[in-house]
Amino acid sequence: MACICSIGTSLPEYQKTQDEVKQLVETIFPRPTREKQRLLQVFDHANISKRQFVVPEQWFTEDHSFAERNKIYQHEAIKHSIKAMDHCLTNEYFVEEPITYEAIDAIFFISSTGLATPSIDAYLMNERHFREDVVRIPIWGLGCAGGVSAMARAHDWLQANPTKTALIVSVELCSLTFQKNDTSKSNFVGTALFGDGIAAMLVAGSESSNRKYIKGPSPQITKTSSHLQKNTLDVMGWDIANTGFEVIFAKSIPKLVETLWKQHVTQFLRTTDIQLDELQFFIAHPGGTKVLQAMEDALNKSKDTFRFSYQVLNDHGNMSSVTVFHVLKRVMEQRIQPGVQTIVSALGPGFSSELLSLEWSD
């Protein structure tokens, strides 16, 4: 089984409270005042206190081309990825001593908010002392599901290469997709939920020599599962415009949680030895408050079961694929006892559901 050894993050420098973002949106959005006041209520109900961005407030009031946005994406993605990787490999809370870049055998790079060719992982290899034979696996377009999918794909690769060690890097700079002239309700909802985030995760195979540096019990990936619901392409994703990415965010998502997601989780649990009523906590990507509440109802679980997801949503908003790494990092910092099992979950474009099971072990 692949072992999650360490997680590191990098926080963007510009932080705004939810009230400050709300005031900004109220000022710049081109909608009638009465309609705008009605839509602004989504900010009040989002259960978000603050978010972080890679650009200052003034940037949001100006017009930007796709090329300009993407240039910022590339620069900031590289800068913050390096910080997150450095933090991950030297995080004293998780590892006894720093892991060297020469010890990394594969890089999984995850993003859906900008473009680069060569992919960003190639730039990272030029900035740090990676070996030249590192396997590069960039994954684009999975949105909020990308983090869990990357963990699953790293697990698959390490099952085939048990002596190896992989580094997952996830970057989502959602602020750069902000469209001040897009009057759609999806765009309005997106501005109330999304923030920027960057994270890196170290994952080691069952025979990797790097496992000896892990502090305390750590989560092992035991099973994975993917589900794509056909004929739901319009539920979540991007429309590509001349000015960049325009968000697609259907109001049917909570309903799909109650049907598609519930069925996927139920079927997945049958393949594990995890009992739903024994779950101490659930590691869910917090797409938003309504999504988390729909998950609680679907599984008949309390809000406390999803407490780590609510905490991250409150402190950072929805950071797309990065968010689940922040949730898992908070869980790992609790020093979970050996034998505890849980489920990691995320929903994404397609409409898709990604699941994996974890068990803490020495």
Secondary structure (DSSP) of 69-138: HHHHHHHHHHHHHHHHHHHHHH-TTTBSSPPPGGG--EEEEEESS---SS-HHHHHHHHTT--TT-EEEE
Shared domain for 167 and 272, answered yes or no, is no
**What is the Cβ-side half-sphere exposure of residue 182, based on CA atoms within 13 angstroms?**
24
User: pTM of the full predicted structure?
Assistant: 0.95
Shared domain for 190 and 256, answered yes or no, is no
pLDDT for the residue numbered 16: 95
From the list 206, 195, 296, the residue with the least C-alpha distance to 254 is 296
Q: Give ∠ CA 287-218-105 in degrees, rounded to 5.
A: 85
Shared domain for 199 and 235, answered yes or no, is no
Domain boundaries, position 169: 2-213
Residue type, position 322, single letter: V
Instruction: Write out pLDDT tens, residues 183-194.
Output: 777 787 888 899
Shared domain for 9 and 121, answered yes or no, is yes
Candidates 3, 5, 88, 144; catalytic one: 144
Residue type, position 215, single letter: K
Shared domain for 190 and 296, answered yes or no, is no
From the list 220, 6, 189, the residue with the least C-alpha distance to 93 is 6
Contact 63, 244 (CB under 8 A): no
Shared domain for 243 and 333, answered yes or no, is yes
Shared domain for 126 and 169, answered yes or no, is yes
Instruction: Write out pLDDT tens, residues 163-220.
Output: 999 999 999 999 999 888 877 777 878 888 999 999 999 999 999 999 999 998 999 9
Reply yes or no on whether the pLDDT at 34 is more than 80: no
Last residue of a domain, one of 194, 213, 232: 213
Shared domain for 160 and 118, answered yes or no, is yes
Is 5 tagged catalytic? no
Last residue of a domain, one of 213, 231, 256: 213
Reply yes or no on whether the pLDDT at 31 is more than 70: no
Shared domain for 349 and 289, answered yes or no, is yes
The CATH number that applies at residue 243 is 3.40.47.10
179-183 long-range contacts, Cβ below 8 Å, gap at least 24?
Answer: 179/241, 179/243, 179/244, 179/246, 179/247, 180/28, 180/29, 180/30, 180/60, 180/61, 180/63, 181/30, 181/63, 181/243, 182/246, 183/29, 183/30, 183/31
Shared domain for 197 and 80, answered yes or no, is yes
Mean pLDDT for the chain? 93
Shared domain for 50 and 196, answered yes or no, is yes
Shared domain for 309 and 167, answered yes or no, is no
Last residue of a domain, one of 193, 213, 233: 213
Please tell me the total count of domains within the chain. Answer: 2
**What is the Cβ-side half-sphere exposure of residue 348, based on CA atoms within 13 angstroms?**
28
